[in-house]
Amino acid sequence: MPKPAKPKPKATTRTKRPAGTTSKAPKATARVKSLAPKKKAKTPSKSLFSAAQPKKTTPSKIKPKSTISKKPTQTKRSAKTKVQPLTTRHDLRHSLPWGVIALASLVGLIWQTVLIKPPPSAYMGPGTLPKAAVALRQQFRQLSSSAQSLLQQENAKDVKVVNQTVVQGELSVITTDLSADHWGDAKTDLAKLNSDLGTWQGKLKQALSALSVSASITITHPPNGVFIPILLYHQTPADFEQQLIYIRDHGYTTITMDQVAAALTSGAKLPAKPVVISFDDGYSDQWGAFQLLQQYQMKAIYYIIIVRANSGCEPDNPSCNPDYLSWDQVKALDASGLVTIGDHTVDHPDLTTLDSDQQQSEIVTARTTLQAELGHPVVDFAYPYGSYNTITLGLLRQDGFRTAVTTVAGQYQLPGDVYELHRIRLAYDLP
């Protein structure tokens, strides 16, 4: 009997598998790539990047949770990217909350502006100096002005209470301190300068007081002294013409240093009332005195400092110093027949502070320069500040000088002593 034909299976559509059916689940470690959208996991323990799992229809074949391997929860970074530890400041800045970053920035700003000293340049702009620094700079200007005034008084009165290099050295140290913002050092050095200035000004006051007394003293006639008063001027006094009139009206005759040397060394005859007029330092206002000397036909000697003559105003010298006579004026004085030019060193130092070679350089270099400018020998000398020692006297004798004048008060000169001549400061003290 023929076997009945098997019916053809009907085409059916895939439907949801009814509960109770079984199916072999894919391995939990397999990754499934699908173009279909992924469903969100209903349980929080599932990762968004876990492979899609089909539903288990047979409860009996579902493996216990303890046997299912779970993937670690991943961040939104790609699973293929290996996360590096945050070690750089850039990574830390992007990983920290913005509040922490803002707080750190504020702390850093406070540290830089309050706890850390700004660089020196931060003090140098207008209005940025600390109050203490402004006060120190103002004090420095005041003390510097006082120091310069003291040195000017020394030169004007031809007295010596302090070496100019000492003053300039202290000012230089303070200038360096202020430039480097070393306020503590500047304060200490300013206090020292202030103290020294007080001492120097006290000495200057005593010296000027002594000069005012000695200027009015007429030294009594020594047993063998010769009456030859020598008047000493620096800057031309306002009453210089009246002093010349006094000299004339009291019967005095102006003489040269050549006549003084001849009288003291060989007994040459002098006028009944001789007097010498001398000017030190070569100040420019001495040109006005020269014009008065011409008017009254009186003789004088001008002791010239080389560096000051070099800085005097010449027609071709735009950076001249109007306080001093120029070489043209010095030559005019010399050519007048009324004025003798004398040596007053190169730079007007206190010769007693120099050794023999240094003194020789100051004395001889000045004379050589004067002789080159004037075209004839220069043989008369004036001690800067009236200071000299045995070395100075020996050099003047050795170099063939004829006379040398001091600032010691006196109207009488000792015979044979031509290197320590006395001078007075007022014509009105002449008898």
Q: Which residues pair with 301 in a beta bridge?
A: 278, 340
Tokens of 106: 């504020």
Task: Please give the Cα distance from 283 to 302 (Å, whole number).
Answer: 10
**What pLDDT was estimated at residue 390?**
94
Q: Please report, as a single letter, which amino acid is at residue 38.
A: K
With a CB cutoff of 8 Å and minimum separation 6, the contacts of 60 are none
Shortest CA distance to 365 belongs to which of 317, 305, 406?
305
Per-residue CA distances from 105 to 89, 91, 93, 99 (Å): 13, 16, 11, 10
How high is the pLDDT of residue 187? Answer: 85
What is the pLDDT, as a whole number, of residue 123?
44
Token readout for 77 is 């970074």
> 24 to each of 12, 21, 28, 53, 56, how far by Cα in Å?
21, 10, 12, 11, 9
Running along the chain, 431 residues long, what does each successive block of 10 average in pLDDT? 55 52 48 50 49 50 50 51 51 56 60 49 50 80 81 70 76 83 84 82 68 48 83 94 96 97 95 97 94 97 92 65 89 97 95 95 97 97 93 96 94 94 93 90
* Residue 166, pLDDT score: 81
Provide the token pair at 278. Answer: 């001398």
Whether the full predicted model's pTM is greater than 0.85, yes or no, is no
Strands 253-254 and 300-304: unpaired
The amino acid present at 349, given as its one-letter code, is P
From CA 374, how far away is CA 379, in angstroms rounded?
Answer: 13
Residue whose tokens read 């000088």: 401
Residue 120: closest CA among 178, 195, 190: 178
User: Looking at beta carbons, which pairs linking 135-139 to residues 24 or more positions away fall under 8 Å?
Assistant: 136/178, 136/183, 136/186, 136/187, 136/190, 137/178, 139/190, 139/194
CB proximity list for 92: less than 8 A, separation 6 or greater? 86
Report pLDDT for 132.
74
Q: What is the C-alpha to C-alpha distance for residues 317 and 194, in angstroms, rounded to an integer? A: 38
Encode burial over 296-317: b for 16+ CB neighbours within 10 A, e otherwise: eebbbbbbbbbebbbbbbeeee
| Dist CA 357 CA 363 (whole Å) | 10
Per-residue confidence (pLDDT) for residue 145, from 0 to 100: 82
* pLDDT at res. 124: 45
Q: What is the pLDDT of residue 168?
A: 78
Query: What own/partner pairs with CB < 8 Å and gap ≥ 24 does 260-266 have?
Result: 260/228, 260/230, 260/403, 260/413, 260/418, 260/421, 261/402, 261/403, 261/418, 263/226, 263/228, 264/226, 264/228, 264/413, 264/414, 264/415, 264/416, 264/417, 264/418, 265/415, 265/416, 265/418
Cβ atoms of 395 and 363 within 8 Å: the answer is: yes
**Cα–Cα distance for residue pair 254/363, rounded to 1 Å:** 27
3-class state of residue 316 by DSSP = coil
Buried (b) or exposed (e) across 76-96, using 16+ Cβ within 10 A?
eeeeeeeeeeeeeeeeeeeee
Strand residues in 322-402 grouped as ranges (E): 339-343, 380-382
- Contact indicator for 374, 341 with CB cutoff of 8 Å: yes
